[in-house]
Amino acid sequence: MRDVFIRYKKAAEEGHDLAQYMVGLMYANGDGVDKDVKLAMYWYKKAMEQGHADAKHQLKKLRESTIDDQPYITALGTIAKDKAEEQAYSSVAELVEQQMMIVELGVEEKISGLSNKKKELYFAFELGVIEFFDGQFLNSIDAQDKDIKFFNFLIYYQSKKYGHSSDRPFDLWQSFATKRLYITERKLGFDSVNNSSNIGHFPSSYLLKAFGTNS
């Protein structure tokens, strides 16, 4: 049964709604994995957001039977471990947004009206910035599953920065992270922060390199 769980978990992380539902079910029942109601709710919610009808039913049923174990809901309507983790998410989100504003200084015209391909490059670069601050701050908080916390932060950051705009980069970020895509562009985003103490450091140059141009 453990092997079955591992296969479903991999598919769930790749975004398959049926696998997300099955992972939630296995967490809820303790099949092939230790029972964990909060993780069951997390995966049911992921499947429900993709239109899986049974996931919605199971999530409602689980919430009704475990009122005291419901996950903490942030002011943005996303999931966090508790109030302290929400505050950490808020602080890190501010740092990421500030860094993205810095790298865009002076190159606003070059990044306006981006094509779909350039948007993917931009989001990959932004994910690299997120990964830097995640390593510096969020990973210092105790958590049973760092991947769950990381993806919860991505959802939080998307809600905070992009709100109800047409840009919804979470699915791309999740795909980039789980499938190890756009490594070069993510490293450029990471280094735009990590190399900030270097002489001659120009953050915008890292973004231009991600777009394939140095001028």
Give the pLDDT confidence of 134-146 residue by residue, as tens digits. 999 888 655 446 7
Please state the rounded mean pLDDT for residues 64-90: 79
pTM of the model: 0.68
Q: Is the model more confident about 109 or about 71?
A: 109
pLDDT of residue 205: 95
Mean pLDDT computed over every residue of the chain: 87
pLDDT digits (tens, 9 = 90+) for 3-58: 888 888 999 999 999 999 999 999 888 888 888 888 988 999 999 998 888 888 88
Q: Higher model confidence: residue 65 or residue 94?
A: 94
pLDDT tens readout for residues 175-203: 899 899 999 999 999 999 999 888 888 99
pLDDT band at 215 (very low <50, low <70, confident <90, very high): very low
Question: Do the Cβ atoms of 77 and 160 come closer than 8 Å?
Answer: no
Domains of the chain (ranges plus CATH)? 2-70 (1.25.40), 79-210 (no CATH)
**What's the average model confidence in pLDDT over 76-91?**
88
